[in-house]
Structure 1
Amino acid sequence: METIRFGTDGWRAPLEEFTTPRVRMVGQAVATYLADEGLEGPIAVGYDARETSRGFAEELTRVLCANGFDVLLSDRDRPTPLVAYAIVDRDLAGGLVITASHNPPEYNGVKFIPHDGAPALPAVTDAIADRLAEPDPLPEDDHGTAREVDFAEPHADAAMALVEGITGSADLSELTVAYDAIHGSGRGTTDALLERAGASVKRLRCERDPDFGGGSPEPAAQNLDALIATVTDGDSDGVVDLGIANDGDADRIAVVTPERGYLNENLFFAALYEYLLEDESGSVVRSVSTTYLIDRVAEAHGETVHEVPVGFKWVARAMAERDALIGGEESGGFTVRGHVREKDGVLMALLAGAMHAEEPLDERIDRLLEDHGTVVQDKTSVDCPDDEKDRVLSDLEDEIPETVAGTTVEDVNTADGFKLLLADGSWLLVRPSGTEPVLRVYAEASDAERVRELLEAGEELLEPLV
C-alpha cells in the first residue's frame, strides 16, 4: 500500500510497481469510498493507448462490479476528458481512467474523477488511499453489470455546441489542420472532431503504437519536429494553416502556427482569454507557474486573476468558486466556462481552430504582444528523488537569496514551492513535480537571455541542496 501514492493527477508508477494486484486494490478503495459516500450510480472506466491499459481497465471493472456497481467501460482507448464529460452528462457516481498521460511507455497510472467531472481534490484521494485493501466481493447475486460504451460522440456533440455558442460558428471548412496524436488516445477523436467541423485534416502519428514510437507522448517542441515542419514549410499538397498535437491521454494541447512554429502555451492561453473576452466577461484562473501576461490581459479588461498551485484540481476548484471564464496551466491544460472542469485538449483543438479561422493566430499574438508587452518563459528540471523533495524545499526556505541573477528579490510567493518575485518584474519558481522525481524550475522575464540567466541561477541554488 505504501507504494500507491496519489500525486498531482492520480497515481503513476513504472510497470514493476504498477501491478494488477495494486490496481485491484485501488478499484476496491474507490468502490468502498463511493459506497461510504452513498453514491450508488454507475461508474465510467476509461483507458489510454498503452499496451497494458485495457487489461488494467478490465481488472478495475471486475472489482467495481463485484462491489455492486454497474460499469460503463470505454469501447476503445479514449481521451481522459471524454470520460470526465460522460460522468457529468450521464450523472454517474464517478470514473476511473487508466493512463500515465505524457509519461514514457514503461509507466502506467490511474486517476479517479468524482461525480462532478473535475479532478479529485486531496481530501478525496486521501480518503481513497485510506481505504486501499484487497478486493472484497459481494455475493454474486449482488454484482453489478458492465457494458461497453462510446464516449466520443456525446463529447463531440457537446464540444460543437459549446464552440458554436462561444464563437457563433464552428465552421473550419476553410482550414487545413495538421494533427499529431503522438500515437496516443487523441487519434480518431481530436482529428475526427476537426473533420466534423469541416477542416481538412492531415494526420501524423495517428496509428496506435503502445510504445509511442519509442519516446514519450509529450507534446513538447522537441517531440514535434514533423508537425512543426509540416505547418511552417507546408507539404506536397500545399499550405497547412494550423498544427495541433495532444499528449498521451489528450487532456493537453500544443499548437503550431506558420510563423512561430511551436506556440508557447502561455501565449496561446493569453490569446484565447482575450478572444473569449471579446464577447464574454469573466475572471481567469491560472497556476502559479503560468505567465503574468494573463494578468495584463485581465487588467486591460477590468477582470480578476485567481492564482492557484500547480495541478488542474486547484484550477477546477477555483473555477467553480469564482465562476471563471477560463482556467489553465502553462503545461497546455485548459477548460472554459460551460464545459466540465477538467482540462480538455480535444475541445481546445476545436476552439483553437475556430479562433484561427476568424483571425490567424499569429496576427492575434502579434497584436497581443504589441498591446501588453513581450513575455518569455521557460523551465527546466533538476533530478530529485520523491522522498527527498520535502527536505530539499525545507532547506531551500533557509537559503532564499536577497538577489537572483543580479536583481533584488522583492517578495516570495509560497503558494506552491518558492516563487521569487524580482524587482525588474521577472520571477523564478522552484516547485516539486507531482508526477516525476524532479524539481521544476521556471522563469519568466522580458527576453530569452534573461530567462536563461534566471534558470541557471535556479539550478545553482538547488545544486548544493539536492
Structure 2
Amino acid sequence: MTTLEKAQLWLTDTFDDDTKSIIKQWIAGNPDELEDSFYRELEFGTGGMRGIMGVGTNRLNRYTLGQATQGLANYLNSQFAGEEIKVAIAYDVRNNSKEFGKMCADVLTANGIKVLLFKEHRPTPELSFTVRDKKCNAGIVLTASHNPPEYNGYKVYWNDGAQIVPPHDAAIIKEVYAVKFEEIKFTGNDELIEWIGEEQDAVYIDACIENSLYQEDKTGYDNLNIVFTSIHGTTYTTVPQALKKAGFTKIDLVKEQMIPSGNFPTVASPNPEEPAALEMAMDLARITNGDIVIGTDPDGDRLGIAVRNLDGEMQLLNGNQCNTILTYYILDQWQKAGRITGKEFIGSTIVTSDVFFDVAEKFGVDCKVGLTGFKWIGKMIRDFEGQEKFICGGEESFGFMTGDFVRDKDSCGSILLACEIAAWCKANGKTMYQYMIEIYKEIGMYYEGLINVVKRGRTGAEEIVEMMREFRENPPKSIAGSPVAEIKDFQEQSMVNVATDMKSVMDDIPKSNVLIWYTEDGTKVCVRPSGTEPKIKFYVSVKDSVNSEAEFSLKLKQLEHKIVQVKADLKL
C-alpha cells in the first residue's frame, strides 16, 4: 500500500474532522509531511512506542494510542478471562499526556477493565511500583522520556511491574496490529476508574527509603548540601519529599525548573545526560556551596549527578561512573553486613561498561547482562526469583535501580542512595569524586563516551540499515591503534575470535541488531540503532589502570583522547 493510499484511509468517518482536514491539506500541497507521517507504523522498541505527536500512522495521536490500548485490552481479556482485570495508568508532564492517559483509560474501561488512574502526572517508577503494590495485571505510562517537546510515548508494563518482554510483547503487538481503527472502543465507563494520588506517593516513598539507605545513624545527612531540579518533570511530586523524610535537611531546589511543563522552557533538552540541562542547578550550587547536584528527566526514571571534582568544580558524572559508585557502595555494605552468600547478582546491559564485571567479581556476586533497556533487567529478576537475589542494576543511559521493589530504573531510590554516599564521603573527609577514584585504583579505570549519529525520516532509516550492513560485511581491523580481537553480532548470535577466525554461538541473549567490537587493549565499541529515536548509537568504553589520585587527571585526558581516536577511525 502506498503512502497516499494509507493516508486516504484516514479520510473516512472513523476519524475526526480536524484530522481529515490536515490530511487533505498535505495531499494537496505538502507531500513531504504526508510521507513522513504515513510511511510506516510506529513500532514498540526497547522503550515502548515513542514518536512525534500529530496526525498519521507514524505519529502519536488518539488513533495510534487507541489502537495500541485496544490491542492491549484484547490481549488482557484473553489472558485473564473470567477475572477482574486491573490496569494502572500514569503520565508525565508532556503536552497531551494527561488527555492521552484519560483516553487510554476510556478504551480499557469500555472493554470492561478496571483502571487505577493517577489524578496528576507521576514518575514512571511510581507506576512500576504501583502495578505490583496494587496487584494490577498491567500498567501503562504516557511518556517520551528525555526526548524533545514534540514527542510523546506509550510504555506497557506486565503484572510483575516490569516492561513487557517475550512472549507478551510480541503477542500484544500482534493484537495491536490486528485492530482496525474503526474497532477502537473510545466510549469509556468512569465507574470502572479508581483515582489515585498523594496516598500512593507516601507508600512509594517509604519503599524507596526502606530499600535504598544503609546508614542507620544517618551519618552526615544533616551536613550535606543538596541541589535538586526536576527539569520541569514529574519528580517534583516525590523527590523533595523523599529527601526530607529520609533525614536530609539542606535541600535547595531550582525553583524555576520545579514548575511542570511539557515545553521545558528553561532548557534546550530535558535530558540529565547533558551538562546544559543541569546548568541552572550548577549555578545554584556555586551560590549555596552545594556538595551534590541532581537532576531528573521528565518521567523521573533517569538521573544526572554532578559532584565536585579534584579542582573543586561541579562536574557531571557519566552514567557508568555514577552507577559504578552506587553499585560498589551497595555491595560493600552488603559484604560488611554479611549478606553476600554467593547467590546474589547485579544487572547490566550489553551497551554498558564492563566495569561491572570487575565490581561483581570483587564482591563475589554474579553480573548478568541483557539487551539494552531496563525491561531486560526486570526479566532477570523474574527469571531468577527464588533462586538468586537481585541486589541492584544499571545501564549507561543514567538509569539505576536498588532492590526489586521497583522493576524499572528509579531516580527516587537512586537519589536517596547517592545522597547517602555523598554524606558518608563528606563525613569521612572526601568527595564522591575521590571515592570514585579509590574504586578505580582498586578495580581498574574505565571511561566511556556515547556518539550519536542522527538520521531522520525514511531516507535516514535506510541509511542506518546500510551502515549496519557495511559494518557487518567490513568490520574495522583496528580501533584507536589496537587490533580488533573479538566481534559479537547479536543479530546473528555469533562471536568471532579474529585471530583464529573461530566462530561460536551465543544464544543466551535474544537476537538484536547490535554489534560489539573488542580490541586487544580492552577498548569496546558497541553499535546499535536506537529503538525509539532516529539515530544510530556508538557506545565506546576504554580502560587503563590508575595508581593514585595525582595521576588520575592525566589518565582521564588520555582516555578522552582515545575516544576521539575511535570516532576518527570509524569516520563518525
Q: TM-score when scaled to structure 1?
A: 0.92
1:262-411 alignment to 2 at 5 Å?
262-280=316-334, 281=340, 282-320=344-382, 321=384, 322-359=388-425, 360-384=431-455, 385-411=460-486
Q: For 1:209 and 1:82, how far apart are their aligned partners in 2?
A: 19
Q: Deviations over 1:315-370 (max 9, x none)?
A: 22223335332111001111122422211111111111122222242232121122
Q: Measure how far apart 1:167 and its partner are.
A: 4.0
Q: For 1:340 and 1:98, how far apart are their aligned partners in 2?
A: 18
Aligned length: 454
What does residue 444 of structure 1 align with? 541
The one of 36, 40, 45 equivalent to 2:89 is: 45
- Is the CA contact (8 Å cut-off) linking 2:106 and 2:187 kept in structure 1? no
Q: Deviations over 1:87-136 (max 9, x none)?
A: 10110111111111101110111101111001111532322222222455
The one-letter amino acid of 1:145's match is L
Q: For 1:74 and 1:130, how far apart are their aligned partners in 2?
A: 28
What does residue 32 of structure 1 align with? 74
Cα gap change, 1:404 to 1:181, in 2 (>3 Å): same
1:7 counterpart = 2:45 = yes
Q: Secondary structure at the match of 1:173?
A: helix
- Aligned CA RMSD, in angstroms, stands at 2.2
- Is the CA contact (8 Å cut-off) linking 1:228 and 1:262 kept in structure 2? no
Q: Secondary structure at the match of 1:95?
A: strand
Cα gap change, 1:258 to 1:406, in 2 (>3 Å): closer
- Is the CA contact (8 Å cut-off) linking 1:382 and 1:459 kept in structure 2? no
Residue segments in structure 1 that go unaligned for 5+ positions in a row = 461-466
What does residue 212 of structure 1 align with? 264
1:109-124 alignment to 2 at 5 Å?
109-124=153-168
Q: For 2:217 and 2:537, how far apart are their aligned partners in 1?
A: 39
Q: Measure how far apart 1:169 and its partner are.
A: 5.7
Runs of 4+ displaced beyond 6 Å:
none
* Structure ranking higher in helix proportion: 2
Q: For 1:147 and 1:304, how far apart are their aligned partners in 2?
A: 41
Residue segments in structure 2 that go unaligned for 5+ positions in a row = 1-5, 7-39, 335-339, 426-430, 491-511, 544-558
The one-letter amino acid of 2:216's match is G
Q: TM-score when scaled to structure 2?
A: 0.75
What does residue 464 of structure 1 align with? none
Q: For 1:337 and 1:223, how far apart are their aligned partners in 2?
A: 28
The one-letter amino acid of 1:402's match is K
What does residue 418 of structure 1 align with? 515
Q: For 2:186 and 2:270, how far apart are their aligned partners in 1?
A: 39
Cα gap change, 1:313 to 1:458, in 2 (>3 Å): farther
Moved more, 21-30 or 128-137: 128-137
Q: Secondary structure at the match of 2:448?
A: strand
Q: For 1:283 and 1:379, how far apart are their aligned partners in 2?
A: 26
Q: For 1:94 and 1:286, how far apart are their aligned partners in 2?
A: 24
The one-letter amino acid of 1:211's match is N
Q: Secondary structure at the match of 2:208?
A: helix
The one-letter amino acid of 1:420's match is W
What does residue 569 of structure 2 align with? 457
- Is the CA contact (8 Å cut-off) linking 1:68 and 1:138 kept in structure 2? no
- Is the CA contact (8 Å cut-off) linking 1:246 and 1:252 kept in structure 2? yes
Cα gap change, 1:72 to 1:197, in 2 (>3 Å): same
The one-letter amino acid of 2:195's match is E
Q: For 1:6 and 1:123, how far apart are their aligned partners in 2?
A: 14
What does residue 233 of structure 2 align with? 184
Cα gap change, 1:457 to 1:169, in 2 (>3 Å): farther
Cα gap change, 1:170 to 1:48, in 2 (>3 Å): farther
The one of 249, 252, 272 equivalent to 2:299 is: 249
Q: For 1:96 and 1:6, how far apart are their aligned partners in 2?
A: 13
Q: Secondary structure at the match of 1:62?
A: helix
Q: Measure how far apart 1:402 and its partner are.
A: 1.8
What does residue 508 of structure 2 align with? none
The one of 145, 169, 187 equivalent to 1:125 is: 169
Q: For 1:185 and 1:139, how far apart are their aligned partners in 2?
A: 28
Taking only the aligned residue pairs, the percentage that are identical comes to 26
Q: For 2:84 and 2:356, how far apart are their aligned partners in 1?
A: 41
- Is the CA contact (8 Å cut-off) linking 1:46 and 1:97 kept in structure 2? yes
Cα gap change, 1:35 to 1:452, in 2 (>3 Å): same
Q: For 1:10 and 1:50, how far apart are their aligned partners in 2?
A: 16
Q: Deviations over 1:184-218 (max 9, x none)?
A: 11123212211222322211211112201153221
Q: Deviations over 1:122-164 (max 9, x none)?
A: 5323222222224554998x88511320132211011112234
What does residue 496 of structure 2 align with? none
Q: Secondary structure at the match of 1:224?
A: helix
Q: Secondary structure at the match of 2:75?
A: helix
What does residue 149 of structure 1 align with? 196
The one-letter amino acid of 2:241's match is A
What does residue 142 of structure 2 align with? 98
1:168 counterpart = 2:216 = yes
Q: Deviations over 1:164-190 (max 9, x none)?
A: 4x4436673332211111101112321
Cα gap change, 1:52 to 1:170, in 2 (>3 Å): farther
Q: Secondary structure at the match of 1:362?
A: helix
1:81 counterpart = 2:102 = no
Cα gap change, 1:6 to 1:387, in 2 (>3 Å): farther
Q: Measure how far apart 1:81 and its partner are.
A: 0.5
Moved more, 146-155 or 432-441: 146-155
The one-letter amino acid of 1:36's match is S
The one-letter amino acid of 1:257's match is V
The one-letter amino acid of 1:244's match is I
Q: Measure how far apart 1:302 and its partner are.
A: 2.7
Cα gap change, 1:129 to 1:170, in 2 (>3 Å): farther
